[in-house]
Structure 1
Amino acid sequence: MLFDLHVHTSHSACSTLELGQILAHAAARGLDGVCLTDHNTMAAGQQVREGIQADGLCVIVGMEYATPQGDFLLFGPFEQLRPGLAAEELLALVDELQGVAVAAHPHRAGRSTAEALVAGGCCRLVEEINGRNSALENQRSQGWLNRYSLAACGGSDAHSLAELGRVVTSFSRPIRKRLDLVGALRAGACRGDWNPRHALNRLAA
């Protein structure tokens, strides 16, 4: 199954992408599912029923949580998560609540992930390809995979319709609800890649 694991709706102030646009265009981009990951909020979950939609698209609500030591895509029971946590405290809480955290764009200038978090095993899953990163930033993220034996995924980091589905995560098991996604990510049953069905990627080929 192909998911865009990193999509921002208009609940993120920096995004122009409306939920209706995501639902209308995801299948045409070859997506089986999308994850709504707004900045520090899961409010998008008030607008959509999570899980499989009438057209077969799977919608999962998470969030992108900012810490001084990096940003993390979170999936799990985090609707009431308080802001302002440091990364180590956040990651310990994610484990305690049996959720999952992905280091988002870990080598982006100004928003990088502290390497000690992955070297020490606090974070075991990284966004190896981010659709808004430079090629060098993505290469550096991929360099961590073997060095620290990490699991990896990818996401478009879409803030506009043009970006939706540019980068995908491929899952080797079915995903029908949030718990399925959490289990697959924790098991490392995933990998990130550019989406060949996305127009921007075809033009760049």
Structure 2
Amino acid sequence: MLIDLHVHSDNSPCSCMSVAEILAEARSMGLDGVCVTDHDSLAVLAQIEEGFQPDGLLLLVGMEYSTPQGDYLVYGDVRSLPSGMDAYGLFSAIKERDCAVVAAHPFRAWRPSDIACVTCENVAAIEVRNGRNSLRDDRLAEKHAAINGLPRVAGSDAHCIHELGCFPTRFTVPVTSSSDLVRALKNGQCEPGEAFPLAVGL
């Protein structure tokens, strides 16, 4: 399954992409699923129904959680997460919930996950390809994943429709729910998918 794990709707102030646009376009781009990960917000839940859509697209909701130690992608039972935690509080809260944390763009200049926090004890995986990263950023993330034995994922970090689906993650097991996604991430049953043709030249 190909799932874009890092997508922002216009519930994030930095995105111009509506949920309706995401739903209208994602399946035709070849995606099996999309996870909306707005910044510190679950407002999208008032607009959509999680799960399989009429066209077969799996739509899930996570969050890009901001901490003083950078940003982290959180999947699973995000509704019960307290707000305003630092990274270590987030990692502790995750252990009590059906959740997985992924280090978001850890080598990028803007809001990177603090690399000191990106260990197999704290995160399920590391984002080694990101639609807004430089090649250098991605190579450093790949190196860190290899050294620390961390599963690797990709994410488009889409803020507009032409970015959607450019950097999907391939899952080697079926994902039909948030719990499936969490389990697959924790078990390392994932890898960066091939960049879609749309991503060439970004």
Q: TM-score range by the shorter chain?
A: over 0.9
- By how many angstroms is 1:116 displaced? 2.1
Partner of 2:43: 43
The structural deviation recorded for 1:125 is 1.1
Q: Secondary structure at the match of 1:138?
A: helix
Show the counterpart of 1:199: 198
Pairing of 1:70-81 with structure 2 (within 5 A):
70-81=70-81
Q: Secondary structure at the match of 1:153?
A: strand
Structure 1 residue 84, shift from structure 2 partner: 1.6
- Equivalents in 1 of 2:173, 2:54: separation in Å? 21
Which residue pairs with 1:184 in the alignment? 184
Q: Secondary structure at the match of 2:146?
A: helix
C-alpha distance in structure 2 between counterparts of 1:96 and 1:182, whole Å: 13
Tell whether the 8 Å contact from 2:76 to 2:99 is kept in structure 1 after alignment: yes
Superposition deviation, residue 119 in structure 1: 4.0
Q: Which amino acid aligns with 2:116?
A: A
Q: 1:70 Cα deviation (Å)?
A: 1.6
Alignment of 1:1-205 (within 5 A): 1-119=1-119, 121-196=121-196, 198-201=197-200, 204=201
How far apart, CA to CA, are the structure 2 residues paired with 1:138 and 1:148? 15
Structure 1, unaligned runs of 5 or more: none
1:155 Cα deviation (Å)? Answer: 0.5
Q: CA RMSD in A?
A: 1.5
Q: How many residues get paired?
A: 202
Residue 10 of structure 1 aligns to a residue in which SS? Answer: coil
Indicate conservation of the 8 Å contact 2:100/2:124, yes or no: no
**Which amino acid in structure 2 is aligned with residue 27 of structure 1?**
R
2: distance between equivalents of 1:172 and 1:120? 20
Query: Is the contact between residue 167 and residue 199 of structure 2 (CA under 8 Å) also seen in structure 1?
Result: no
Q: Residue type of the partner of 1:158?
A: A
Unaligned 5+ residue runs, structure 2? Answer: none
Identity of aligned residues (%): 41
Contact 1:169/1:192 (<8 A) preserved: yes
Aligned in 2, Cα 1:70/1:26: closer, same or farther, shift over 3 Å? same
| Alpha-carbon distance between aligned partners in 2 of 1:15 and 1:151, rounded to the nearest angstrom | 28
TM-score of the superposed pair, with normalisation by structure 1: 0.93
| Cα distance, 1:157 vs structure 2 | 0.2
For residues 131-161 of structure 1, the C-alpha deviation after alignment (integer angstroms, 9 at most, x for no partner) is: 1111111111111111100011110000000
For residues 49 and 120 of structure 1, do their structure 2 counterparts lie closer, same or farther at Cα, with a shift above 3 Å needed?
closer
The offset of 1:113, in angstroms, is: 2.0
